[in-house]
Amino acid sequence: MDPQIFIRLSIDSLGLRIPGTTATTKSGIRIISSPCSCEIRLRGFPVQTKSVPFVSVSEAIHPTNAASSSFYLEESDLKALRTPNCFYAPQGGFLEIIVFAGRKGSHCGVGIKRQQIGTFRLEIGQEWCLGKAMVLCNGWVGIGKNNGKPDAELHLRVRLDPDPRFVFQFEDEIKLSPQVVQLRGSIKQPLFSCKFSRDRVSSIDGSEQDTGKRERKGWKVKIHDLSGSVVAATFITTPFVPSSGCDWVARSNPGAWLIARPDACRPESWHPWGKLEAWRDRSGTRDAVCCRFRLLSENLPEDGKDALVSEVLISTEKGGEFFIDTDRHLRAGPTPDISGGGFVMSCRVQGEGKSSKPMVQLAMKHITCVEDAAIFMALAAAVDLSIEACRPFRKKLRIRRGYTNSW
């Protein structure tokens, strides 16, 4: 398996200080009494907002390994950002950090405006494309001036690290038992096949013959390697059923999938690896499917409880991305090995009623063999099928003509 080039851009060790004082900028902005934050912008990516602690002049900042913010760039991103006039910038793209005092919102019906303290910009140079680990900036930088003199100073560390990934795609809907190919540029290399089955039979028009039972169960996906051997699987262990008083699967009673590896010592037996729970989230105007994944305790380096490694909302209309990434999840407690060090996995799926061909990315550092990739394909299949399993029970499941249940 050949990985694709990805670069991880991380910004951490944030701090703010005002030379010559501990509370007020020369332009009169009170810092110590106001919460400070920054917007971290990279053209073409969503803006990330982070808090910035105020630091006295005599106080030292200790570097931290935890990234305050991170972006993942592939080759096409780097090429676009290096192009002159990229996003209307004459010299190409740049990293921009804008620091504010105060926060957006209102108090007692009166609107509160943030006050901009200063801006830091870092141009995207040729070194970004070298694929090497390097520190682009580390220390204090001036971000504002008053009458030509330094005003506020921002402490930060900006670092580039290579983070290659394997990219896969299911070539058709999971229910049609498609091939899974690895993508490398324009090259598609078949690597797995998957076989979907379920206990009950579907009629030609796609409606379930036993919808009166109001449950969805017995769905199973097996992942096969090129030799035809089963290398991973996922199957429903807790049926998807409507909760009392509504017509959909609610948080109080989620459906669940077991993601498992075949047991080498016992044919037709499985070694549990992880558990995916899913339910419909209809909070306010939101309509989404929540997918919550736990790594089972027997797969952790130390004995203990199952570890929650991801909980993601996916829009039922537009679809979205399920991911395992410690830089994007704010969780308490120790981080298990599966998610140690940032990005682990992402899976893009479509919304309900749409043809979905999941796209999966895996961090190379977490994949030591083909079987490691296969278990994530099983997890991706469970995520995709959860969108269908969480549909309201008054709606018919969409099944394309030509689908068969047979193994």
- Residue pair 70/32 in contact (Cβ under 8 Å)? The answer is no
User: Please, what is the average pLDDT of the chain?
Assistant: 82
Query: Is residue 333 scored above 50 in pLDDT?
Result: no
Percent of the chain with pLDDT over 70: 76
- pLDDT score of 46 more than 50: yes
Among 157-171, 239-253, 313-327, 339-353, the minimum mean pLDDT is found in 339-353
pLDDT of residue 244: 84
Per-residue pLDDT reduced to its tens digit, 306-324: 889 999 999 999 999 999 9
All residues at 6 or more sequence positions from 385 whose CB lies less than 8 Å from its CB, including other chains: 174, 175, 219, 221, 257
Q: In the chain, what percentage of residues exceed pLDDT 90?
A: 52
When comparing pLDDT for 360 and 342, which is higher?
A: 360
pLDDT over 70 (residue 209): no
**Higher-confidence residue: 340 or 396?**
396
pLDDT per residue as tens digits for the range 65-95? 455 788 999 888 888 888 766 544 555 588 9
99 phi, psi to nearest 5 deg:
-100, 135
